[in-house]
Amino acid sequence: MVVVVRVAIVWMRNILRVHDNPLLTWASSRDDLDAVIPLIIMDPDRGFGSTKLMGSARMRFLHDSLIDLSDCLSRDYGADLTILSGRAKELIPMTVKSLNGMVKWVLCDYVQDPESREEIYRIHRSLSDLGVKTKVFPAVNTLLDIEANTQDDEYENPKSTKDMDKILTRSLGITTEGYLVPKPLKPIEKINYCQDLVNNLNGSDFLRGRIVTRKYLATFPEQINTLGRYFPGGESEAIDRLRRKVIERPEFVNRFSKPSTASTNDPNNPLEPSTTGLSPYLSTGCLSIRLLWEECRKANEGKEHTQPPKSLQGQVIFREMFYLLSRSVDNWDNDVENINCKPILWGDYDKDMLTAWEDGMTGFPFIDAMMRQLDETGWMHHLGRHAVSCFLTRGQLWQHWKYGRDIFEKKLVDSDWAVNNGNWLWLAGVAPFSMPYYRVYNPCPDSKSSLNVETEEAEFIRHWVPELASFPSKFIFEPHLAPIEVQNTSGCIIGQDYPWPIVDRKESRRLNLSLFKESLERE
């Protein structure tokens, strides 16, 4: 009989995978540990258990991911995933106490947003009082150690790929083949797991009513299973998609230029991204960013290929920039006392306009198709995000960028605090790295638009806005301009079966640019 007296709790905050998992690697390699308990905490304050804070598609993706992680641990390592519902600052000390002094370590991954940093600080203090050590692993979901870099005396807030090159070179080193990004960790051979210990933990008075079962994840709430499941969550799907979109397509990787990809997805499939579609798996930690970088490096090795920022590796670098800024810029998620946000006097909150925008009922089919796609699948191409955010803010509706940010945060399956806020600051035209504010996307794009829209067949519009499925392509992006005979023939009367445009796009653009300029002049 094995006597378990030295336990490590591996609390996976935002690393929903087994591959390249430094927490599990560290814990499984220690001779001074008898058992490892993999742990997930579903915090209701962050939306778990309610579609008020977390949209159905996003919740379904996370539930899928937890189920997949649980199954992987069980199948490959004979270990169960303990999932608790509640607040970590309460549950971690409770779990430690319930194990009666056996816990020696609590391990977790670094998460850079202020709430998460404050959370682990409080937990560290609580555990210190109990004689338990805390170890936070940096660079679990980023190439860079965000904390170390932003606290470095030489660090300056980056604004461009050139700035990022200096940071990456200084932090990682560089050769003629590129940055010296650490290789993904080798798979772990085993996890020291004690079922009796976990059974006792699950039955403790401390955690009664806090245990989340696999059955619960698979069945609650009902609405998470009624929507499109084009992006199944989980490490297994992440690895499979990496294989299909990157590993088996080296020429695609080498030719990849993100600005040239189609916003309206694969011409033969309105659901399949023209990009890799890996962002949901990166943002949730289902896929290692180092693994993606390494596979891109292999594809590029000895071949001609696109360069940052357009390349796939360039997109990873851009993501790193937002992670750095989100840590070094105070009030990153606000427009007050944020050095990366110009003070623009946005319009008063307009519930009707916001609702029309969110529901995909603005009368602008391209905008509406993108928003309906977001609602059903939780995903949208980056150029679609450009278009709908510009439309909501400086383009047509003159609404504050934070309203759109919050809707994206709720619905996106690749929801990411650092990246989502960075994108909205950028696309609202208020950040130092923004495009000029007067560069406004046309919400009724043609084939020459920089939004890269397929207009000849317009299958993307027909799929997501089925009211217009029979409209001729000539009028489908501005159906209100179609003669009434065409509307009758197409079975869609504008103003009756599909809404009139909620604004005059040209007049609203003119007025909004004037208001933006006035705000800048008041600085």
Q: What is the pLDDT along the chain (523 residues), one digit of tens a residue?
A: 456 689 999 999 999 999 999 999 999 999 999 999 999 999 988 878 666 788 889 999 999 999 999 999 999 999 999 999 999 999 999 999 999 899 999 999 999 999 999 999 999 999 999 999 999 999 999 999 999 999 999 999 999 999 999 999 999 999 988 999 999 999 999 999 999 999 988 888 888 889 999 988 988 655 554 445 789 999 999 999 999 999 999 999 999 999 999 999 998 888 899 999 999 999 999 999 999 999 999 999 999 999 999 999 999 999 999 999 999 999 999 999 999 999 999 999 999 999 999 999 999 999 999 999 999 999 999 999 999 999 999 999 999 999 999 999 999 999 999 999 999 999 999 999 898 999 999 999 999 999 999 999 999 999 999 999 999 999 999 999 999 999 999 999 999 999 999 999 999 999 999 999 999 998 7
Q: Is 174 helix (H, G, I), strand (E, B) or coil?
A: strand
Residue 344 lies in a domain: no
**40 and 150 together in one domain:** no
283/15 Cα distance (integer angstroms): 9
**427 and 460 together in one domain:** yes
CATH code of the domain covering residue 72: 3.40.50.620
Task: Note the pLDDT tens digit of each residue in 164-217.
Answer: 999 999 999 999 889 999 999 999 999 999 999 999 888 888 888 899 999 889
Residue 227 lies in a domain: no
**127 and 149 together in one domain:** no
Residue 433 lies in a domain: yes
**303 and 425 together in one domain:** no
**517 and 387 together in one domain:** yes
438/459 Cα distance (integer angstroms): 30
Residue 365 lies in a domain: yes
CATH code of the domain covering residue 309: 1.25.40.80
Residue 427 lies in a domain: yes
Query: What is the DSSP pairing of strand 174-175 with strand 82-85?
Result: unpaired
Residue 507 lies in a domain: yes
Quote the pTM value: 0.95
Q: Give CA separation, 458 vs 69, 358, 364, 445, 475, in Å.
A: 39, 22, 14, 11, 10
How many independent structural domains does the chain possess?
Answer: 3
Task: Give long-range contacts, CB 8 A cutoff, 24+ apart: 238-245.
Answer: 238/17, 238/278, 238/281, 238/286, 238/287, 239/19, 239/287, 241/276, 241/277, 241/278, 241/281, 242/276, 242/278, 242/281, 242/287, 242/291, 242/292, 242/295, 245/276, 245/277, 245/278
The answer to whether the CB of 40 falls within 8 A of the CB of 83 is yes
**172 and 129 together in one domain:** no
Residue 342 lies in a domain: no
**504 and 423 together in one domain:** yes
Among 322, 333, 340, which Cα is nearest to 146's? 322
Task: Note the pLDDT of residue 218.
Answer: 86
**164 and 281 together in one domain:** yes
Residue 339 lies in a domain: no
**118 and 97 together in one domain:** yes
Say how many C-beta atoms besides its own lie within 10 A of residue 521's C-beta. Answer: 7
CATH code of the domain covering residue 397: 1.10.579.10
493/500 Cα distance (integer angstroms): 10
**79 and 127 together in one domain:** yes
The Cβ-side half-sphere exposure at 187, using a 13 Å CA radius, reads 7
Task: Note the pLDDT tens digit of each residue in 472-511.
Answer: 999 999 999 999 999 999 999 999 999 999 999 999 999 9
Q: Which of 297, 328, 359 is the endpoint of a domain?
A: 328
Task: Give the residue numbers spanning the domain of 394.
Answer: 351-521
**77 and 120 together in one domain:** yes
Task: Note the pLDDT of residue 169.
Answer: 97
* Placement of tokens 């989980």 in the chain: 234
**130 and 165 together in one domain:** no
Residue 439 CA to chain centroid, in angstroms? 26
Phi, psi (degrees; rounded to nearest 5) at 192: -70, 110
